[in-house]
Amino acid sequence: MNGWLLAAAVTLGGGLTATLWGVTTGPLGRRVVAQNLATAVACPGLLLLSQAYERPAYVDLALVLAVLGPVGTLVFARLLSDELTGHPPRAWWPTWTAAALGTAVVLALCAVTAPGRATVKLLVTGALLVGGNVVAGRALTGGIRGVRGG
């Protein structure tokens, strides 16, 4: 049991439990924000797992999640925009907290990997994750309107 594995267990256990609580209770606005949070928590968790098991190839999972997770949130933002425009979710602090978590994990991992391609890949994953989550959060809070037919 190394420190990275412990960090991954804490991140995933705490973060995903909070996400699960958010996504099953409360109004719809809160639930979609919690769904966006799932990506933002699980992606750093997967990066920590890849470091803990010393398998750089596992970074691919985090990369795919960083690309597709925000896309999944955009699906909800677009197809639920009618329901969300009435009561737009106002929860920026979870999004920014998750973004800070992602940034911290990516920077910590960059610090311990030898500089090179792997560092760039980590940075790209982090940028996609944080950017995607902020944009998806914005899309949830009224970024997509007037979806009637389309």
Partner 1 sequence: MADPVVVVALLLVAGSATLAVAVRDPVRQALVLSVLGVVLAVLFTVLQAPDVGLSQLAVGSAVTPLLLLLTVRKVRRRGQRKGRER
Partner 2 sequence: MTRRSTRLAVAEVLAWWVALGGLWLAFINAVDTLELAVGAGAAGVAALAARAARRAVTGP
Partner 3 sequence: MNRRFRLWLVAVGSAGLAALLVAACLELPDFGGAWHPYGDRAVRASLDRHTANTVASVNFDQRAFDTLGEMTILFAAVLGCVVLLRQTRDEHRARPEPADVEPPVRRYALIVLPVALLTGLYVIAHGQLSPGGGFQGGVVAATALHLLYLGADYRALERIRPVGLYEVGDAAAACAYLVLGLAGVLAGTAFLANTLLPYGTFNTLSSGGTVPLLNAAIGMEVACAVVVLLARFLDQAVEIEEESRA
| Contact between 71 and partner 3 per CB under 8 A | yes
What distance in Å separates the CA atoms of residue 25 and residue 33, rounded to the nearest whole number? 12
Token pair of 58 as six digits:
């596992």
Distances (CA, A) of 136 to 34, 36, 51, 105: 12, 7, 27, 20
List, in order, residues 6 or more apart from 92 with CB less than 8 Å away: 137
Applying CB under 8 A, among 5, 61, 80, 108 the residue interacting with partner 3 is 61
Applying CB under 8 A, among 81, 98, 106, 109 the residue interacting with partner 3 is 81
DSSP assignment letter at 114: P
Task: Write the interaction track for partner 1 spanning residues 20-59; mark x where CB under 8 A is met and - where it is not.
Answer: x--xx---x--xx-xx--xx--x--xx--x---x-x-xx-
What distance in Å separates the CA atoms of residue 119 and residue 113, rounded to the nearest whole number? 7
CA quadruple 79, 82, 88, 89: dihedral sign? negative
Task: Write the interaction track for partner 1 spanning residues 89-128; mark x where CB under 8 A is met and - where it is not.
Answer: ----------------------------------------
Where do runs of H (alpha helix) occur along 53-116? 59-79, 81-86, 92-112
Instruction: Choose the stretch contacting partner 3; rule: CB under 8 A; options: 8-16, 26-34, 64-72, 97-105.
Output: 64-72
Where does this chain bind partner 2 (CB under 8 A)? 56, 63, 117-118, 120-121, 124
Where does this chain bind partner 1 (CB under 8 A)? 1, 5, 8-9, 12-13, 16-17, 19-20, 23-24, 28, 31-32, 34-35, 38-39, 42, 45-46, 49, 53, 55, 57-58, 60-61, 64-65, 68-69, 71-72, 75-76, 79-80, 83
